[in-house]
Chain A
Amino acid sequence: MKIDMGSARFRVIRDADRCINCRICVRQCGFGAQKYDSELDAVDTEDRLCVACHRCTSLCPTAALSIEERPLAYRRSGSWSADHIEFIGRQAETGGVLLSGMGNDRSLPVYWDHLLLNASQVTNPSIDPLREPMELRTYLGRKPERLEVQTQPDGTIRLAKQLYPAVQLEVPIMFSAMSYGSISYGVCESLARAAAQVGTLYNTGEGGLHQNLRRYGANTIVQVASGRFGVDRDYLASGAVIEIKIGQGAKPGIGGHLPGEKVSQAISRTRMIPVGTDALSPAPHHDIYSIEDLRQLIFAVKEATEYTKPVSAKIAAVHNVAAIASGIARAGADIIAIDGFRGGTGAAPTMIRNNVGIPIELALAAADQRLRDEGIREQVSLVASGGFRCSADLVKAVALGADAIYIGTAALVAIGCHLCQKCFTGKCSWGIATQDPNLAKRVDPEIGAERLVNLLTAWSHEMREMLGGMGINSIESLRGNRLHLRAVGLSEKECQILGVKCAGEAM
């Protein structure tokens, strides 16, 4: 007897008075939940297949559709959730590892929601960013300990020592690593175009760089991961920054497999592997078993690019993150990207995604403090990522010590993602996490880029307002300025790690 323990999670409600039987929902659903019965000449939904991605509700011309959670009356238990029961059902059926897409969805504390920003009142004036200069521009890369200048015979002043290579960001927001393969080409081009328009960077992830996107090189971070997909001399030369990927917040300590069915002709070309083979990115780089080995790879790419670009190392936020960050700085990285446990992914084993790693807020604060304590903070820029949802999260991260923030999930949401967490199926109705040409063409790079530019423009306005309110006229002046943060509802220990005072405590 076959036992099916998976029940429908959602129910699609179709308003019969409004439905005009146009079948748009049938064509739009990537998961095959909407069906047309030609005998009855009617459209119906197979609820079991619905993932609540909202493609049908968004495109239904008569607003006839809505989606609700289907009541699932398991006997109430404080220990066994519906997920636990259904996970076991699926595993008893298949013997396989559970997969999830996007970031950790468990209701663990979001520290951003326990941190509040300061504002000026009476004793120092706030600044109106609409009328006064307000700078969001920042630079990533190693900074000199101090500036040494020489006065020339003609009286002009010159730098005595060349500065380290740096990249200029017009806004401290970048698009995080998402590979061509995990996302569709249209999304890659949207990210590249938007980064170029705004004056920031997007990140290729570990999937190589599509030929068409090489022209956005000045706005590209090229990633070097353990599988070395698409990595050659030209690839390294194409980017403005080279990022060595050690880990990812959604799956610290493990690697990734791009399944062979997603390795199409174009992806095979970009990754430089045969069509249809699994693209395996194991957890370790086999040339990195220590900080010294990381240093070897950092300097290999620096030598290969003649020290013209900053090199970043991306790690997942794990328990010992502060000491690791210190090691990475000493290994010669110019940028350290730390990805918190809410960071998104195209596919991660559910158990890893839900249980491994620590929040970015604590990791960032601990790493920033450690680098300051050791007097090496200026040697690296810190980039924070992993579940940033709005401009206020970003401002708080800068106050905790971040030089810039990577957004991944938020960028995809701007392009249409509704966080259904089914990226790994390749059936994405929004054309984002898919290589099916019929679905992928739904992302028009022009529209995608415009929406991303709009998002960054809006967030920039909001960040300027928050900065102005604090009486600060430059993002650089907020960096690591934790006096502008106050905690609510946190323990003394949490406040201590975050380096913030409790709300109500004076300056």
Chain B
Amino acid sequence: MKDKVKVNGSELDAHGLHYSELNRQILRLLRKGQQSMTLRGVNGQRYIGAGIQAKAQLAVHGTPGNDLAAFADGLQITVYGNGQDAVANTMNKGKLVIHGSVGDLLGYSLRGGSVLIKGSAGYRAGVHMKQYVDQKPLLVIGGTAGDFLGEYMAGGDLVVLGLGCTADHPVVEDNIAPGMHGGRIILPEPVPEYSLGREVHVYELTNEDLAFLRQTTLMYSQTFGASAQHILQRRFVKVAPKGARPYQAMYA
């Protein structure tokens, strides 16, 4: 491990640095008024941007570790690489763009801001997503998602575009949105009944849903250079809760 951090203007060389030291340097630069910075050589450091309340821009080159942007509040992070587990854990505000795929638990309890993933996500993406009045999170997954997508989801918008899905890699695997009681998930057909959680239904898109999907797809294609037209050739549907009170009748 290096004992001295290389700081070159707004560039931080993360190679060989412990996460704690790396995060301290990020904070130090932010407190000096740096509005944008570039992290190079990131290789598994956890908690990048964790709990930081700032509007600054952070470009991350390499592979950030678990809990990227956990509790983050306003940061604009772009990752040129893949993310690992628990990306945007309990993130409150800001924007996170990942030019790659991510592991499990993407956007756990995401509370606001937007998270755009170019590729695919692992299990339990969007679990416990919430919303409150004007604070409404957006989570977009360009590729496919694993089991338990949107589990316990209480609010917000979750979109899976299904790019690159195959028979072996369906758009979403089993147990879609068990315990979901708020928000909406938009994803391409087919969504077989057996893969749904008990608390949700598949609905046709309303005009509002469709307009939202178009807008989201456009944002995705502009960010990652894909063709919105190509994406929208597929038919999309909505998974939404049957009610806001899934366990109302459970007690004697």
CB–CB B50/A300 < 8 A: yes
CB–CB A278/B71 < 8 A: no
Q: Find B130's partner among A96, A273, A296 (CB 8 Å cutoff).
A: A273
CB–CB B27/A278 < 8 A: no
CB–CB A304/B50 < 8 A: yes
Residues of the B chain whose Cβ atoms lie less than 8 Å from the Cβ of A90 = 252
Interface string of A266-279 (1 = CB under 8 A from B): 00110011101111
Complex alpha-carbon distance, A279 and B245, angstroms:
9
CB–CB A259/B50 < 8 A: no
User: In the complex, how many angstroms separate the beta carbon of A503 from the nearest chain B beta carbon?
Assistant: 45
Residue of A nearest to B74 (CB): A233
CB–CB A278/B67 < 8 A: no
Chain B interface secondary structure, helix, strand, loop or mixed?
loop
Complex alpha-carbon distance, A61 and B101, angstroms:
70
Residues of the A chain whose Cβ atoms lie less than 8 Å from the Cβ of B155 = 273-274
Residue of A nearest to B65 (CB): A296
CB–CB B154/A280 < 8 A: yes
Complex alpha-carbon distance, A282 and B197, angstroms:
15
- Which residues B21-52 have CB closer than 8 A to chain A? 23, 27, 46-47, 50-52
Residues of the A chain whose Cβ atoms lie less than 8 Å from the Cβ of B247 = 257, 278, 280
Interface membership of A67, Cβ < 8 A: no
Complex alpha-carbon distance, A268 and B111, angstroms:
13
Interface membership of A306, Cβ < 8 A: yes
Interface membership of A287, Cβ < 8 A: yes
Interface string of A202-235 (1 = CB under 8 A from B): 0000000000000000000000001110011110
Residues of the A chain whose Cβ atoms lie less than 8 Å from the Cβ of B131 = 273-274
- Which residues B136-179 have CB closer than 8 A to chain A? 151-152, 154-155, 179
CB–CB B128/A268 < 8 A: no
CB–CB A260/B179 < 8 A: no
Q: Find A232's partner among B92, B105, B127, B248 (CB 8 Å cutoff).
A: B92
CB–CB A97/B51 < 8 A: no
CB–CB B27/A306 < 8 A: yes
User: In the complex, how many angstroms separate the beta carbon of B191 from the nearest chain A beta carbon?
Assistant: 22
Number of interface residues of A (CB under 8 A): 43
Complex alpha-carbon distance, A93 and B251, angstroms:
11
CB–CB A304/B130 < 8 A: no
Known: A273-B130, A286-B127. A233 touches B154 (CB 8 A): no
User: In the complex, how many angstroms separate the beta carbon of B39 from the nearest chain A beta carbon?
Assistant: 15
Interface membership of A91, Cβ < 8 A: yes
CB–CB B132/A274 < 8 A: yes
- Which residues A223-258 have CB closer than 8 A to chain B? 226-228, 231-234, 236-237, 257
CB–CB B109/A96 < 8 A: no
CB–CB B66/A233 < 8 A: no
Best-surrounded residue of B27, B90, B135, B182 (most CB of chain A within 10 A): B90
Residues of the B chain whose Cβ atoms lie less than 8 Å from the Cβ of A286 = 105, 108, 124, 127-128, 151
Interface string of A111-148 (1 = CB under 8 A from B): 00000000000000000000000000000000000000
Interface membership of B1, Cβ < 8 A: no
Complex alpha-carbon distance, A279 and B132, angstroms:
13
Complex alpha-carbon distance, A234 and B112, angstroms:
14
Known: A287-B105, A296-B66. A280 touches B47 (CB 8 A): no
Interface membership of A26, Cβ < 8 A: no
Residue of A nearest to B179 (CB): A280
CB–CB B71/A280 < 8 A: no
Residue of A nearest to B249 (CB): A96
Residue of A nearest to B151 (CB): A286
CB–CB A272/B135 < 8 A: yes
Interface membership of A376, Cβ < 8 A: no
Interface string of B89-133 (1 = CB under 8 A from A): 110100000000000010011010000000000001001101110
Complex alpha-carbon distance, A269 and B152, angstroms:
19
- Which residues B192-251 have CB closer than 8 A to chain A? 244-251
Residues of the A chain whose Cβ atoms lie less than 8 Å from the Cβ of B130 = 228, 272-273
Instruction: Show the binding face of B for A, using Cβ within 8 Å.
Output: 19-20, 23, 27, 46-47, 50-53, 66-67, 70-73, 85-86, 89-90, 92, 105, 108-109, 111, 124, 127-128, 130-132, 135, 151-152, 154-155, 179, 181-182, 244-252
Sorted nearest first, the 10 A-B pairs with minimum C-beta distance are: A304-B51, A96-B252, A228-B109, A277-B244, A272-B132, A303-B47, A233-B73, A303-B50, A232-B92, A94-B252
Selected A-B contacts with CB under 8 Å, 14 pairs: A96-B249, A96-B251, A233-B53, A233-B72, A237-B51, A259-B245, A272-B130, A276-B245, A280-B246, A286-B108, A286-B127, A296-B66, A300-B50, A304-B71
Task: Known A-B contacts: A227-B128, A304-B50. Give 18 more (CB < 8 A).
Answer: A228-B128, A232-B73, A232-B92, A232-B111, A233-B52, A274-B154, A277-B244, A277-B245, A280-B152, A286-B105, A286-B128, A287-B67, A300-B67, A300-B89, A301-B51, A303-B19, A304-B51, A304-B70
